[in-house]
Protein backbone atom coordinates (compact mmCIF):
# COMPACT_ATOMS: atom_id res chain seq x y z
CA UNK A 1 0.00 0.00 0.00
CA UNK A 2 2.80 2.38 0.88
CA UNK A 3 4.52 1.65 -2.44
CA UNK A 4 1.30 2.47 -4.32
CA UNK A 5 1.00 5.82 -2.53
CA UNK A 6 4.59 6.66 -3.40
CA UNK A 7 3.98 5.61 -7.00
CA UNK A 8 0.80 7.69 -7.25
CA UNK A 9 2.56 10.70 -5.75
CA UNK A 10 5.40 10.32 -8.23
CA UNK A 11 2.96 10.06 -11.15
CA UNK A 12 1.09 13.19 -9.99
CA UNK A 13 4.36 15.12 -9.72
CA UNK A 14 5.36 13.95 -13.20
CA UNK A 15 1.98 15.02 -14.61
CA UNK A 16 2.29 18.45 -12.98
CA UNK A 17 5.77 18.85 -14.44
CA UNK A 18 4.44 17.91 -17.89
CA UNK A 19 1.63 20.46 -17.62
CA UNK A 20 4.10 23.14 -16.50
CA UNK A 21 6.41 22.21 -19.36
CA UNK A 22 3.53 22.40 -21.85
CA UNK A 23 2.54 25.81 -20.44
CA UNK A 24 6.10 27.07 -20.88
CA UNK A 25 6.12 25.93 -24.51
CA UNK A 26 2.64 27.36 -25.14
CA UNK A 27 3.61 30.67 -23.57
CA UNK A 28 6.70 30.93 -25.76
CA UNK A 29 4.54 30.33 -28.84
CA UNK A 30 1.91 32.86 -27.75
CA UNK A 31 4.58 35.49 -27.15
CA UNK A 32 5.40 35.41 -30.88
CA UNK A 33 1.83 36.09 -32.04
CA UNK A 34 0.34 39.51 -32.92
CA UNK A 35 -2.13 41.06 -30.51
CA UNK A 36 -5.12 40.45 -32.80
CA UNK A 37 -4.47 36.70 -32.67
CA UNK A 38 -4.00 36.77 -28.90
CA UNK A 39 -7.34 38.52 -28.44
CA UNK A 40 -9.02 35.72 -30.40
CA UNK A 41 -7.21 33.01 -28.43
CA UNK A 42 -8.46 34.42 -25.13
CA UNK A 43 -11.79 32.71 -25.83
CA UNK A 44 -10.24 29.27 -26.50
CA UNK A 45 -10.32 28.23 -22.85
CA UNK A 46 -10.11 29.59 -19.32
CA UNK A 47 -6.57 28.27 -19.11
CA UNK A 48 -5.47 30.22 -22.20
CA UNK A 49 -7.27 33.28 -20.84
CA UNK A 50 -5.29 32.97 -17.60
CA UNK A 51 -1.98 32.67 -19.47
CA UNK A 52 -2.59 35.64 -21.77
CA UNK A 53 -4.04 37.97 -19.09
CA UNK A 54 -1.15 37.30 -16.73
CA UNK A 55 0.67 40.66 -16.25
CA UNK A 56 4.01 38.87 -16.57
CA UNK A 57 2.99 37.63 -20.03
CA UNK A 58 2.32 41.19 -21.16
CA UNK A 59 5.67 42.36 -19.77
CA UNK A 60 7.58 39.46 -21.40
CA UNK A 61 5.97 40.26 -24.72
CA UNK A 62 6.94 43.92 -24.58
CA UNK A 63 9.72 44.52 -22.04
CA UNK A 64 10.33 47.89 -23.69
CA UNK A 65 7.62 50.54 -24.16
CA UNK A 66 5.80 50.40 -27.49
CA UNK A 67 5.73 53.39 -29.84
CA UNK A 68 2.37 54.89 -30.76
CA UNK A 69 0.71 53.42 -33.87
CA UNK A 70 -1.81 56.18 -34.46
CA UNK A 71 -3.89 59.01 -33.07
CA UNK A 72 -7.45 59.48 -31.91
CA UNK A 73 -8.35 62.98 -33.10
CA UNK A 74 -11.17 64.84 -31.38
CA UNK A 75 -13.21 67.19 -33.53
CA UNK A 76 -13.51 70.85 -32.60
CA UNK A 77 -17.26 70.75 -32.03
CA UNK A 78 -18.13 71.25 -28.35
CA UNK A 79 -20.45 68.39 -27.52
CA UNK A 80 -21.18 66.32 -24.44
CA UNK A 81 -20.12 63.27 -26.44
CA UNK A 82 -17.35 64.44 -28.80
CA UNK A 83 -16.65 62.46 -31.95
CA UNK A 84 -13.23 61.02 -32.75
CA UNK A 85 -11.39 60.02 -35.89
CA UNK A 86 -8.66 57.39 -35.85
CA UNK A 87 -5.58 58.03 -37.96
CA UNK A 88 -2.90 55.35 -38.37
CA UNK A 89 0.71 56.50 -38.71
CA UNK A 90 1.33 53.95 -41.47
CA UNK A 91 0.23 54.45 -45.04
CA UNK A 92 -2.38 51.69 -44.77
CA UNK A 93 -5.80 52.57 -43.38
CA UNK A 94 -6.60 50.74 -40.15
CA UNK A 95 -9.93 49.97 -38.54
CA UNK A 96 -10.54 49.92 -34.80
CA UNK A 97 -13.69 48.76 -33.10
CA UNK A 98 -14.50 50.44 -29.81
CA UNK A 99 -16.52 48.19 -27.53
CA UNK A 100 -18.90 49.63 -24.96
CA UNK A 101 -16.95 48.62 -21.92
CA UNK A 102 -16.24 51.18 -19.26
CA UNK A 103 -15.07 51.43 -15.68
CA UNK A 104 -16.70 53.62 -13.08
CA UNK A 105 -14.42 55.41 -10.63
CA UNK A 106 -15.96 55.06 -7.20
CA UNK A 107 -16.57 57.97 -4.82
CA UNK A 108 -15.70 60.60 -7.42
CA UNK A 109 -16.80 63.95 -6.02
CA UNK A 110 -17.83 66.74 -8.33
CA UNK A 111 -15.44 69.64 -7.83
CA UNK A 112 -13.88 72.30 -10.00
CA UNK A 113 -11.72 69.83 -11.93
CA UNK A 114 -8.77 71.45 -13.71
CA UNK A 115 -7.29 68.29 -15.18
CA UNK A 116 -7.59 64.48 -15.31
CA UNK A 117 -4.75 62.18 -16.41
CA UNK A 118 -4.36 58.42 -16.70
CA UNK A 119 -1.13 56.99 -15.26
CA UNK A 120 -0.21 53.52 -16.48
CA UNK A 121 3.14 51.84 -17.03
CA UNK A 122 2.91 48.04 -17.52
CA UNK A 123 6.68 47.71 -17.08
CA UNK A 124 6.24 48.90 -13.48
CA UNK A 125 2.88 47.49 -12.45
CA UNK A 126 -0.43 46.19 -13.89
CA UNK A 127 -2.12 48.78 -11.68
CA UNK A 128 -3.26 52.09 -13.16
CA UNK A 129 -3.95 55.41 -11.48
CA UNK A 130 -5.99 58.49 -12.31
CA UNK A 131 -4.57 61.89 -11.36
CA UNK A 132 -7.12 64.61 -10.65
CA UNK A 133 -6.18 68.26 -10.17
CA UNK A 134 -8.96 70.39 -8.72
CA UNK A 135 -9.06 73.84 -7.22
CA UNK A 136 -10.98 75.90 -4.74
CA UNK A 137 -8.67 78.68 -3.64
CA UNK A 138 -5.56 76.55 -4.13
CA UNK A 139 -4.88 73.50 -6.28
CA UNK A 140 -5.08 70.00 -4.81
CA UNK A 141 -4.04 66.66 -6.33
CA UNK A 142 -6.06 63.50 -5.72
CA UNK A 143 -5.11 60.01 -6.92
CA UNK A 144 -7.39 57.09 -7.74
CA UNK A 145 -5.84 53.62 -7.52
CA UNK A 146 -7.26 50.68 -9.47
CA UNK A 147 -5.74 48.39 -6.84
CA UNK A 148 -7.70 49.70 -3.86
CA UNK A 149 -10.43 51.46 -5.90
CA UNK A 150 -10.51 54.63 -3.82
CA UNK A 151 -9.46 58.27 -4.09
CA UNK A 152 -7.00 59.92 -1.73
CA UNK A 153 -5.43 63.35 -1.42
CA UNK A 154 -1.79 63.51 -2.46
CA UNK A 155 0.63 66.18 -1.31
CA UNK A 156 -0.14 69.65 -0.07
CA UNK A 157 -2.35 72.29 -1.67
CA UNK A 158 -0.43 74.72 -3.87
CA UNK A 159 -0.73 77.86 -5.99
CA UNK A 160 0.06 77.79 -9.71
CA UNK A 161 -0.67 79.49 -13.04
CA UNK A 162 -0.16 76.29 -15.07
CA UNK A 163 -2.94 74.78 -17.21
CA UNK A 164 -3.47 71.21 -15.91
CA UNK A 165 -5.79 70.17 -18.73
CA UNK A 166 -3.10 68.23 -20.63
CA UNK A 167 -0.63 66.31 -18.49
CA UNK A 168 2.08 63.87 -19.58
CA UNK A 169 3.23 60.91 -17.51
CA UNK A 170 6.91 59.96 -17.63
CA UNK A 171 9.48 58.37 -15.33
CA UNK A 172 7.13 58.08 -12.35
CA UNK A 173 5.99 61.71 -12.51
CA UNK A 174 3.30 63.87 -14.07
CA UNK A 175 4.49 66.79 -16.19
CA UNK A 176 2.52 69.91 -17.06
CA UNK A 177 3.72 72.85 -19.10
CA UNK A 178 2.30 76.27 -19.73
CA UNK A 179 3.57 79.52 -21.12
CA UNK A 180 1.86 82.88 -20.97
CA UNK A 181 2.71 86.52 -20.41
CA UNK A 182 4.46 85.50 -17.19
CA UNK A 183 6.82 83.14 -19.03
CA UNK A 184 7.36 79.40 -19.45
CA UNK A 185 6.35 77.05 -16.62
CA UNK A 186 7.07 73.33 -16.31
CA UNK A 187 5.81 71.51 -13.22
CA UNK A 188 6.83 67.95 -12.32
CA UNK A 189 4.90 65.97 -9.68
CA UNK A 190 6.52 62.80 -8.35
CA UNK A 191 3.60 60.45 -7.68
CA UNK A 192 5.34 58.06 -5.29
CA UNK A 193 7.17 60.71 -3.24
CA UNK A 194 4.28 63.19 -3.52
CA UNK A 195 6.19 66.39 -4.13
CA UNK A 196 6.11 69.09 -6.80
CA UNK A 197 9.21 70.53 -8.47
CA UNK A 198 9.95 72.97 -11.28
CA UNK A 199 11.92 72.03 -14.40
CA UNK A 200 14.23 74.61 -15.97
CA UNK A 201 13.60 76.19 -19.36
CA UNK A 202 15.34 74.64 -22.40
CA UNK A 203 18.33 76.50 -23.83
CA UNK A 204 17.73 79.14 -26.51
CA UNK A 205 14.06 79.20 -25.64
CA UNK A 206 11.73 81.55 -27.50
CA UNK A 207 8.91 82.64 -25.18
CA UNK A 208 6.71 83.57 -28.15
CA UNK A 209 6.51 80.01 -29.45
CA UNK A 210 3.91 77.38 -28.68
CA UNK A 211 5.04 73.95 -27.45
CA UNK A 212 4.24 70.24 -27.67
CA UNK A 213 5.14 67.97 -24.73
CA UNK A 214 4.93 64.21 -25.16
CA UNK A 215 6.36 60.87 -24.04
CA UNK A 216 7.49 58.21 -26.48
CA UNK A 217 9.21 54.90 -25.66
CA UNK A 218 10.07 56.10 -22.14
CA UNK A 219 11.62 59.40 -23.27
CA UNK A 220 10.15 62.87 -22.70
CA UNK A 221 10.29 65.31 -25.62
CA UNK A 222 9.49 68.97 -26.04
CA UNK A 223 8.90 70.41 -29.50
CA UNK A 224 9.20 74.13 -29.95
CA UNK A 225 6.58 75.18 -32.47
CA UNK A 226 3.78 77.66 -32.97
CA UNK A 227 0.81 78.72 -35.03
CA UNK A 228 1.93 80.86 -36.75
CA UNK A 229 5.72 80.47 -36.56
CA UNK A 230 8.90 80.17 -38.55
CA UNK A 231 10.11 77.13 -40.46
CA UNK A 232 12.94 76.22 -38.07
CA UNK A 233 12.52 74.65 -34.66
CA UNK A 234 14.09 72.22 -32.18
CA UNK A 235 13.06 68.91 -30.65
CA UNK A 236 14.34 68.69 -27.06
CA UNK A 237 14.73 65.68 -24.78
CA UNK A 238 14.79 65.79 -20.98
CA UNK A 239 17.59 63.99 -19.14
CA UNK A 240 16.53 61.09 -16.95
CA UNK A 241 17.35 62.99 -13.76
CA UNK A 242 15.33 66.00 -15.00
CA UNK A 243 18.42 68.20 -14.67
CA UNK A 244 18.27 69.78 -18.12
CA UNK A 245 16.90 69.69 -21.65
CA UNK A 246 19.16 69.04 -24.62
CA UNK A 247 18.55 69.38 -28.36
CA UNK A 248 17.74 66.00 -29.89
CA UNK A 249 16.88 67.22 -33.41
CA UNK A 250 17.00 70.47 -35.34
CA UNK A 251 14.35 70.66 -38.04
CA UNK A 252 13.77 72.82 -41.08
CA UNK A 253 10.37 72.82 -42.76
CA UNK A 254 11.57 74.16 -46.08
CA UNK A 255 10.78 70.80 -47.68
CA UNK A 256 7.15 70.98 -46.57
CA UNK A 257 6.84 74.61 -47.62
CA UNK A 258 8.10 73.76 -51.09
CA UNK A 259 5.55 70.93 -51.34
CA UNK A 260 2.58 72.92 -50.01
CA UNK A 261 3.46 76.63 -50.48
CA UNK A 262 -0.18 77.66 -50.81
CA UNK A 263 -1.18 75.59 -47.78
CA UNK A 264 1.47 76.42 -45.21
CA UNK A 265 1.52 80.13 -45.84
CA UNK A 266 -0.74 82.03 -43.47
CA UNK A 267 -2.78 84.72 -45.25
CA UNK A 268 -3.15 86.77 -42.06
CA UNK A 269 0.51 86.77 -41.00
CA UNK A 270 3.85 86.82 -42.76
CA UNK A 271 4.65 83.35 -41.46
CA UNK A 272 3.80 79.65 -41.72
CA UNK A 273 1.00 77.57 -40.24
CA UNK A 274 1.48 74.10 -38.79
CA UNK A 275 0.62 72.22 -35.64
CA UNK A 276 2.59 69.39 -34.01
CA UNK A 277 0.35 66.43 -33.18
CA UNK A 278 2.80 63.77 -32.02
CA UNK A 279 6.45 62.81 -31.76
CA UNK A 280 7.16 59.08 -32.10
CA UNK A 281 10.51 57.65 -31.15
CA UNK A 282 11.47 54.61 -33.22
CA UNK A 283 13.32 51.48 -32.17
CA UNK A 284 16.13 52.79 -34.38
CA UNK A 285 17.24 56.40 -34.62
CA UNK A 286 16.21 56.61 -38.27
CA UNK A 287 12.67 55.42 -37.44
CA UNK A 288 11.72 58.45 -35.33
CA UNK A 289 9.18 60.83 -36.86
CA UNK A 290 7.04 63.87 -36.20
CA UNK A 291 3.32 64.04 -37.00
CA UNK A 292 2.28 67.52 -38.10
CA UNK A 293 -0.96 69.13 -39.19
CA UNK A 294 -1.00 71.70 -41.97
CA UNK A 295 -4.19 73.20 -43.45
CA UNK A 296 -6.23 70.26 -44.75
CA UNK A 297 -3.51 67.63 -44.30
CA UNK A 298 -1.56 65.64 -41.74
CA UNK A 299 1.97 64.59 -42.66
CA UNK A 300 4.62 62.32 -41.18
CA UNK A 301 8.07 63.89 -41.11
CA UNK A 302 11.11 61.60 -40.78
CA UNK A 303 13.63 63.30 -38.48
CA UNK A 304 16.77 61.49 -39.61
CA UNK A 305 16.35 61.76 -43.38
CA UNK A 306 14.22 64.96 -43.46
CA UNK A 307 11.67 63.32 -45.73
CA UNK A 308 7.89 63.38 -45.36
CA UNK A 309 4.77 61.53 -46.47
CA UNK A 310 1.13 62.54 -46.38
CA UNK A 311 -0.92 60.23 -44.15
CA UNK A 312 -4.25 62.08 -43.90
CA UNK A 313 -6.15 64.38 -46.25
CA UNK A 314 -9.25 66.12 -44.90
CA UNK A 315 -9.30 68.98 -47.39
CA UNK A 316 -12.80 68.11 -48.60
CA UNK A 317 -14.27 67.89 -45.10
CA UNK A 318 -16.17 71.14 -44.58
CA UNK A 319 -16.17 70.69 -40.79
CA UNK A 320 -12.39 70.49 -40.57
CA UNK A 321 -11.18 73.57 -42.42
CA UNK A 322 -10.83 75.92 -39.47
CA UNK A 323 -7.36 76.88 -38.25
CA UNK A 324 -5.39 76.97 -36.05
CA UNK A 325 -5.85 73.24 -35.69
CA UNK A 326 -8.87 71.42 -37.02
CA UNK A 327 -8.89 69.17 -33.98
CA UNK A 328 -9.10 70.19 -30.35
CA UNK A 329 -7.10 67.32 -28.89
CA UNK A 330 -5.21 64.25 -30.02
CA UNK A 331 -4.63 61.03 -28.08
CA UNK A 332 -1.99 58.46 -28.98
CA UNK A 333 -2.98 54.85 -29.63
CA UNK A 334 -0.41 52.41 -28.20
CA UNK A 335 -0.96 48.70 -28.78
CA UNK A 336 -1.06 46.72 -25.55
CA UNK A 337 -2.48 43.54 -24.03
CA UNK A 338 -3.10 45.23 -20.71
CA UNK A 339 -6.73 45.55 -19.70
CA UNK A 340 -7.08 49.13 -18.46
Query: 285-335, pLDDT tens digit by residue?
Result: 888 999 988 777 888 888 888 888 888 887 776 555 554 455 567 888 887
pLDDT tens track for 143-202: 999 888 889 999 889 988 888 988 999 999 999 987 666 667 889 999 989 989 999 888
In the Cβ-directed half-sphere of 139, how many Cα atoms lie within 13 Å? Answer: 18
What pLDDT, on a 0 to 100 scale, did the predictor assign at position 323?
46
In a shared domain, residues 332 and 288:
yes
Query: Cα angle at 184 between 182 and 189, to 5 degrees?
Result: 115
In a shared domain, residues 255 and 273:
yes
The larger pLDDT score, comparing residue 2 to residue 71, is at 71
**Averaged pLDDT for residues 246-254:** 84
In a shared domain, residues 28 and 86:
no
Number of domains, the chain: 3
Which of 181, 199, 217 is a domain's end point?
199
**Average pLDDT of every residue of the chain:** 78
**Averaged pLDDT for residues 206-231:** 76
In a shared domain, residues 86 and 111:
no
Phi, psi of 247 (to 5 degrees): -75, 120
What pLDDT, on a 0 to 100 scale, did the predictor assign at position 14?
61
pLDDT tens track for 46-101: 888 888 888 788 778 776 677 888 888 877 656 667 777 788 887 555 566 665 56
- Is the per-residue pLDDT at 283 higher than 50? yes
What pLDDT, on a 0 to 100 scale, did the predictor assign at position 295?
75
Q: What is the extent of the structural domain holding 29?
A: 2-61
In a shared domain, residues 78 and 115:
no
**Averaged pLDDT for residues 207-234:** 77
Residue 66 counted as domain residue: no
pLDDT tens track for 14-27: 654 554 468 888 88
What pLDDT, on a 0 to 100 scale, did the predictor assign at position 6?
44
pLDDT tens track for 196-216: 999 988 877 766 667 889 999
Please name every residue paired with 247 in a beta bridge, in sequence order, or none if there are none: 236
In a shared domain, residues 208 and 244:
yes
What pLDDT, on a 0 to 100 scale, did the predictor assign at position 171?
92
In a shared domain, residues 112 and 240:
no
What pLDDT, on a 0 to 100 scale, did the predictor assign at position 100?
59
- Is the per-residue pLDDT at 142 higher than 80? yes
**Averaged pLDDT for residues 105-133:** 82
Residue 260 counted as domain residue: yes
What pLDDT, on a 0 to 100 scale, did the predictor assign at position 274?
74
Residue 43 counted as domain residue: yes
State how far the Cα of 214 lies from the Cα of 167, in Å rounded to an integer.
9
In a shared domain, residues 32 and 77:
no
What pLDDT, on a 0 to 100 scale, did the predictor assign at position 172?
92
What pLDDT, on a 0 to 100 scale, did the predictor assign at position 66?
76
In a shared domain, residues 226 and 195:
no
Write a three-state SS string for the chain.
Answer: CHHHHHHHHHHHHHHHHHHHHHHHHHHHHHCCCCHHHHHHHCCCCHHHHHHHHCHHHHHHHCCCCCCCCEEEEEECCCCCCCCEEEEECCCCCCCCCCCCCCCCCCCCCCCCEEEEEEEECCCCCCCEEEEEEEECCCEEEEEEECCCCEEEEEEEEECCCCCCCCCEEECCEEEEEEEECCEEEEEEEECCCCEEEECCCCCCCCCCCEEEEEEECCEEEEEEECCCECCEEEEEEECCCCCCEEEEEEEECHHHHHHCHHHHECCCCCCECCEEEEEECCCCHHHCEEEEEECCEEEEEECCCCCEEEEEECCCCHHHCCCCCCEEEEEEECCCCCCC
- CA torsion angle for 221, 236, 90, 266 (degrees, to 10)? 110
State how far the Cα of 295 lies from the Cα of 314, in Å rounded to an integer.
9
pTM: 0.80
Amino acid sequence: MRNKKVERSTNEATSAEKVASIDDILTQILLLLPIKSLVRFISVSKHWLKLIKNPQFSFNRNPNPNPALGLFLQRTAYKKRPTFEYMAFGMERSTLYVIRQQRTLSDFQSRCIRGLSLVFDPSRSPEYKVISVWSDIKYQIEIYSSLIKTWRKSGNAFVSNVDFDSGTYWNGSMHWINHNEEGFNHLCYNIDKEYMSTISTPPEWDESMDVYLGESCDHLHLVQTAVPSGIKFNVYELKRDCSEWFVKYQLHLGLLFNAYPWKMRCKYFDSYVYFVRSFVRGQREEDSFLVMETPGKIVRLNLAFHTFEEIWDFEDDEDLKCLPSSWTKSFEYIESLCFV
